[in-house]
Structure 1
Amino acid sequence: MSNDSSTETAQPEPQTSSAPLVSDSRTFKRAFEDLTRGFSQRQLWLQLGWQDIKQRYRRSTLGPIWITVATGVMALALGLLYSVLFQMDLAEFLPHVAVGLIIWNFISGCIKEGSEVFIYNEGLIKQLPSALSVHIYRLVWKQLLFLAHNIIIWVILMIVFPRPLGWELLLALPALALLVVNGVWVTLLFGIIATRFRDVAPLLDSLVQLAFYMTPIVWTTATLEQQGGDVAERAKLAQINPLYHYLEIIRAPMIGEPIDAYHWWIVLGCTAAGLLLALVIMRQYRSRVPYWV
């Protein structure tokens, strides 16, 4: 007679993997998908960026032309003042200041407004089912429109103060493309960080103001080097400032000055490092931005 309490055959226990589960939202694949999906929605951010400019000047008589007027007046005032202080020829110095100021406005706009890009678009982020990068492209596109308006100043200066411009002028096009790419990663990086830590935005505003005077916009490295001695040695410190190299690869071709190849290599290196850093931050914290705004 068999015993009812006979030992039953032991069933194998299911094996559990010891590998940690990785959220699909925190992968480089999802980060790249967000960037590509956002770019494919260009009809949306192109329209929104243009609408931002129209909204800003909707009640003014000149409209977006005020962008050019304000930058032109600033460039003229700084050019006249510092050309007297440094005893420089206005025809040589004013284009240097004007083009430097035009490029600087793009850079500073991407940094300062980029730090608040997600905070400013809180409503759209929570209500509009679109890629997070749409707001990045929108801001960079708006800053590019500002730059396009200000290029009129450069055209006027080249007519008033004509100078020989060779084929090197074409180098300004790839330089501008690099500037736009850097605008994307700068806006993305500071936008995510400043959304989490709200003190970052006013800190960046102060640092950008300080960087303006540390970057050769209203002064030139050539002027300091001509004075010799310790002043010439201190002029070499400008090489440490990466913003100087970003200005040079665009400004030099536009005002007919030679440019050394090392400026390009430094900008390319900074671009690669910045893109990698922004992708890491985006991979890790992209999904949290809607909860932080």
Structure 2
Amino acid sequence: MTSAPIESDRRSFARTFTDLKTGFANHELWAHLGWQDIKQRYRRSVIGPFWITIATGVMALGLGILYSALFHMKIETFLPYITTGFIVWNFILACITEGAETFIANEGMIKQMPAPLTVYVLRTVWRQVLMLAHNLIIYVIVLLVSIGTLGSPYHMSEDNSGPLHPGLGFGMLMVIPGFILLVTSGVWVSLLFGIISTRFRDIPQVINSLVQLVFYMTPIVWSPDVLGERGRSIGHTAIQFNPLYHYVQVVRGPLLGQQVDWWSWVIVIGLTALGWGIALLAMKNYRSRVSYWV
């Protein structure tokens, strides 16, 4: 007779919001755990987490030189474009793939330490924020090299076709709300995918397969500016229905002095709100089961 009320109490938004509130309040715990994850990964390494920066920089430089030649793009504008795109994409990718294994990877702590589930999600996202901060060093270096071109209105293509971007200015400040939305979405993605993947262990493998396809459909190593008139029309339609493009663009655009379309902001804000709503419902219904599923 008493099992129903107890079960109902477990599946309540009150318990969900308490978990979130307590998790965010324990910032010293998840911040320390996230930093220790990076230190542990590069333990006994001479330059430690800066290997992240080197690997990303080498990849961006190699592909930037190659694709700028293939697509007839100006290297001084395309290299910052592909570098910034890689930095933001790596953050999104890690929040999706590592977020899906958030609770699985923390199985031991979940079973031994009574902590809110939000702590493990924030641990994962905070780790990605630290890695993003390391990678921003590459952006600063590339920006210093290309500031003469990006500091004024510019075209990305060698023949000066395509959109004319306004160049760096006070519009760079829009990267702040863009970054906040990106991190906020990283939390709900890790929370939602983490719960689903804990119940269905095939989900992480499915996600890893899909993100490879989405990467090539997202303007990271290519730019819509290089598409011809017909290709630009098709590409424009494709990227407008690609939510990851909009998440990349609200951060990359301001960093490169590009005007971000208002539609991108609408989609990002809308998806962030919708994602949090679904994540809260999943948290409400299945929060108490995660410890059994792991």
* TM-score greater than 0.5 by the shorter chain: yes
Q: Which residue of 1 aligns with 2:185?
A: 182
Shift of 1:233: 2.3
The CA distance in 2 between the partners of 1:52 and 1:178, in whole Å, is 24
Residue 233 (structure 1) aligned with residue 240 (structure 2): no
One-letter code of the match for 1:250?
Answer: V
- Match in the other structure for 1:59: 44
Mapped to 2, the partners of 1:233 and 1:251 lie a distance apart of 22
Alignment of 1:1-293 (within 5 A): 21=5, 23-162=8-147, 163-164=150-151, 165-224=168-227, 227-229=228-230, 231-236=231-236, 237-293=238-294
Query: How many matched pairs?
Result: 272
Partner Cα distance (2:232, 2:169) in 1: 30
Letter in 2 for 1:276: G
Q: For 1:105-164, what per-residue CA distance to the aligned partner results, in whole angstroms no more than 9, with x for missing partners?
A: 100001001111111100100111110110000000000000000000110011111122
SS in 1 for 2:43: coil
For 1:229-262, what per-residue CA distance to the aligned partner results, in whole angstroms no more than 9, with x for missing partners? 2x22211211100011111111111011112211
Cα distance in 1 for partners of 2:292, 2:72 equals 55
Which ranges of structure 1 fall in alignment gaps of 5 or more residues?
Answer: 1-15
Deviation of 1:32 (Å):
0.9
Please give the secondary structure, in 2, of the residue aligned with 1:161. Answer: helix
Q: Distance in 1 between matches of 2:232 and 2:262?
A: 22
Runs (4+) of structure 1 exceeding 6 A deviation are none
Letter in 2 for 1:285: Y
Q: Deviations over 1:19-63 (max 9, x none)?
A: x74611101111111011011111000000000000000121111
| TM-score normalised to structure 1 length | 0.91
Report the Cα distance in structure 1 between the residues aligned to 2:240 and 2:223, rounded to whole angstroms.
Answer: 12
Write the distance in 2 (CA, Å) between the matches of 1:42 and 1:174: 21
Give unmatched runs, 5+ long, in structure 2: 152-167
Q: Once the 2 structures are TM-superposed, how far is the Cα of residue 171 of structure 1 from its aligned partner?
A: 0.6
Secondary structure of the residue aligned to 1:24 is helix
TM-score (norm 2): 0.91
| Alignment partner, residue 158 of structure 2 | none
Aligned-pair CA distance for 1:69? 0.3
Q: Secondary structure at the match of 1:258?
A: coil
Q: Percent identity at matched positions?
A: 55
Which stretch shifts more, 254-263 or 242-251?
254-263
1:172 shift after superposition: 0.4
